[in-house]
């Protein structure tokens, strides 16, 4: 059973500066309001009261049930050119590392373009990157951890609790429900795997993503090969097959008429199971 009041996670040494917040309107907004750091800065809470997702959507969750975590990359890890390739690739890279970390405690984890992480086709986490000022990049992650069925925001959402991920015994790539470690210890380790992997990738790829790293990201994007409905910000819709990503992380969609369109920003609906 997920605890009513989960303890703070052990995030020591995961960034140059670590802040655990009893509550926060938004961990992204919290970091953006601070002076620019000289290194990496991390803020996290079990109680985010006014989170924001893509296109200004709200992210509201019951206290203690979702983990909100934001990291400011700092001058050493921020990609050199956020106006080009990295603008579309960074959310996918973050999603891929989060999917890999979650895969240590549950199976069926993939990335849905452009910034969701799913378990068996249902959303378990969302990612929001922001640039509060030139040269500053903040990446926020919201993970549905302890939500029960009746607390899910939509039918297309899920939580780690619903996959029996409360405890972990070190076994790989399967769900574990019975061992002695506390739930908070499990998720502290998941966050450590996530952030250590992301930090390692960014430290060696601030100019461009190396081929093997790009292959890892692409392999985790379950949208590729899917029949999708694309809804653009202006309301226009298109149905087609997502065939690939381009070098900027944009989604390449082929319609039934054979036309190809490169999608930079849109809502994507998978029209058949992954």
Q: How confident is the model at residue 272 (pLDDT cuts 50, 70, 90)?
A: confident
- pLDDT at res. 58: 65
Q: Is pLDDT at 24 greater than 80 in this prediction?
A: yes
* Cβ-contact 130, 28 below 8 angstroms: yes
- pLDDT at res. 226: 96
How confident is the model over 102-133, as pLDDT tens digits? 999 999 999 999 999 999 999 999 999 999 99
Share of the chain above pLDDT 90, in %: 73
Higher pLDDT, 128 or 164: 128
In terms of C-beta density within 10 A (0-12 exposed, 13-18 middle, 19 or more buried), how is residue 79 classed? buried
Q: Is pLDDT at 171 greater than 80 in this prediction?
A: no
d(CA 130, CA 231): 22
- The one-character DSSP state at 24 is B
Give the domain ranges of the chain.
17-218, 224-270
How confident is the model over 203-215, as pLDDT tens digits? 988 777 888 899 9
Residue 112 pairs in a beta bridge with 116
Dump the DSSP string for 119-161.
ETTEEEEEEEEEEEETTEEEEEEEEE-S--GGG-SSTTB--SG
Q: Record the pTM.
A: 0.90
Token pair belonging to 91: 């959310």
Q: Which CATH architecture has domain 224-270?
A: Roll (2.30)
- pLDDT at res. 57: 61
Q: Is pLDDT at 141 greater than 50 in this prediction?
A: yes
Residue 270 pairs in a beta bridge with 228
- pLDDT at res. 173: 44
In this structure, whether the domain defined by 17-218 belongs to CATH 3.30.930.10 is answered with yes
Higher pLDDT, 118 or 1: 118
Q: What value does the mean pLDDT take over residues 262-269?
A: 95
Going by C-alpha positions, the residue among 34, 72, 28, 35 that lies closest to residue 54 is 28
The H or E element that residue 251 is part of is strand 251-255
Identify the top-confidence range among 35-39, 145-149, 213-217: 35-39
- pLDDT at res. 274: 52
């Amino acid at each position: 059973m997920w605890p009513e009041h989960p303890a703070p996670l052990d995030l020591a040494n995961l960034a140059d500066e670590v802040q655990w917040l009893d509550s926060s309107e938004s961990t992204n907004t919290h970091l953006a309001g601070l002076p620019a750091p000289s290194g990496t800065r991390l803020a996290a809470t079990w109680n985010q009261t006014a989170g924001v997702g893509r296109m200004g959507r709200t992210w509201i969750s019951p206290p203690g049930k979702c983990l909100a975590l934001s990291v400011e990359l700092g001058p050493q890890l921020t990609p050199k050119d956020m106006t080009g390739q990295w603008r579309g690739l960074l959310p996918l890279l973050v999603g891929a590392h989060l999917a890999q970390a979650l895969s240590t405690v549950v199976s069926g984890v993939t990335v849905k373009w452009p910034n969701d992480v799913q378990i068996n086709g249902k959303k378990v986490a969302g990612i929001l990157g922001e640039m509060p000022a030139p040269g500053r990049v903040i990446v926020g992650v919201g993970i549905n951890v302890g939500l029960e069925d009746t607390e899910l925001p939509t039918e297309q959402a899920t939580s780690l609790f619903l996959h029996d991920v409360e405890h972990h015994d070190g076994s790989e790539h399967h769900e574990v429900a019975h061992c002695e470690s506390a739930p908070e210890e499990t998720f502290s380790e998941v966050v450590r795997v996530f952030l250590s992997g992301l930090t390692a990738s960014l430290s060696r790829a601030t100019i461009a993503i190396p081929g093997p790293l790009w292959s890892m990201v692409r392999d985790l994007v379950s949208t590729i090969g899917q029949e999708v409905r694309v809804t653009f910000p202006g309301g226009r819709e298109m149905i087609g097959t997502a065939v690939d990503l381009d070098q900027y992380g944009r989604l390449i969609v082929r319609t039934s008429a054979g036309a190809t369109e490169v999608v930079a920003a849109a809502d994507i609906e998978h029209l058949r199971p992954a």
